[in-house]
Amino acid sequence: MDKRYVFLLALLLAIPLVSAVPMMGQRMMETKETKNIEKRELAEPKQMMPERVDVPGKDMMEDKGRMMASPGNMMGRSMNVSLADIRCKIDFTNALINAIDSHDQNASLGNYSSKLSSDLVQLQTYAANSDVSGYREYLHQTYEPDFRAAKEAMRDWRHERLRNDTSRNDTRELLKSEDLRLRKNYESCNFGMLKSMAVNRADNALIPYENRVANLKSKGTNTSKMETLLSDAKSQILLPLQVAISSANDSKSLKNAFESYCFFDDCKNGTNFHLASKFDVAMLSSVLDQIRANPASGNYSSQIASAQASLDSANSVIASAGTSQLSQSQKREIAQDLNTASKTIKDMIYSARKAPQRGRMHEN
């Protein structure tokens, strides 16, 4: 059997179908920053005020739209992104501390602010040196305890001060007014970080697939179907998503952008491209075309027809969904068709390897 078919067999054995791999699909784009988005640990105004005020951008961070993981989670995120998030938190927290100290000279919370500022400088140094392990260790062992201590100190002050202050209502209103002002600054900082992440996510969304296509092409596989598919994904999803991100002016509109254009199957009311399933069909079709083009393919006409029927069935189910989300039954049907086609193609190549020289598939 020629080297090209040895490669095809290795391809099918070593590379699982995209739609069958948990890391792939929408989750591929964030590496392992997946569905269980942790809540961001921000210096919320409730540390100062009894009333609850929602954190700017919090709905986005909790949304299953998978924008990002929690601050400090280094998996799948650059240190610079983590650092930008931490900088927003420290600036907001220090501003709250300054507001408290200005109102109550006996609060003495400045030491917490100094520690957080020092932590930021140290984290910036690790990031500048690309020291991931040092950054992570300092983050967990120093910065996070310091941040929690600052939150607890502000909470303790609030309870003590408002309990003993005879003018507590005036104090509450004064701090609430100051909090609203600081919150606008925080929201601007936070949104800038989120938008930067969104731009990066969109711009790099198709890179894993483009790399895979390049690898297949270097091995002699005709990748025209996969290249056409990725071109369609760019025009139908990537370009309009980039426009929506560029025009977003708050976290809600940024979130809406990712709920409107999905490469995979995550938009309830938006456009779904179903890239994972379509890519599997295109990849298996390319392998099948290579087998079909071989002079010895006549020996496997029934298997070729069977594999093609499975791929046609998968394509039909995908097409029936249009741009809507696939149902669970449709996903199962597509997976079954793809697995059947993959197994049939593997069996053909195995058979060709074992067949007498006369019946083997070889180069034209």
pLDDT at 9: 52
Q: What is the largest CA-CA distance in the chain?
A: 100
pLDDT at 158: 78
Q: Which residues of the chain have pLDDT under 50?
A: 1, 14-15, 20-76, 358-360, 362-364
pLDDT at 35: 32
CA-based nearest residue to 144, from 41, 245, 280 = 41
Q: What separation in angstroms does the CA of 357 have from each of 291, 345, 352?
A: 16, 19, 9
Half-sphere exposure (CA, 13 Å, Cβ side) for 97? 23
CA-based nearest residue to 99, from 174, 201, 211 = 174
Phi, psi of 272 (to 5 degrees): -110, 130
Amino acid identity for residue 141 in this structure = Q
pLDDT at 75: 39
Helix (H) or strand (E) holding 272: strand 271-272
How far apart (Å, rounded) are the C-alpha atoms in residues 32 and 66? 11
Predicted TM-score (pTM) of this structure: 0.64
Residue partners of 183: CB distance under 8 A and separation at least 6: 45, 53, 56, 92
pLDDT at 315: 95
How far apart (Å, rounded) are the C-alpha atoms in residues 179 and 121? 25
How far apart (Å, rounded) are the C-alpha atoms in residues 150 and 67? 28
Q: How far is CA 267 from the centre of its chain?
A: 14
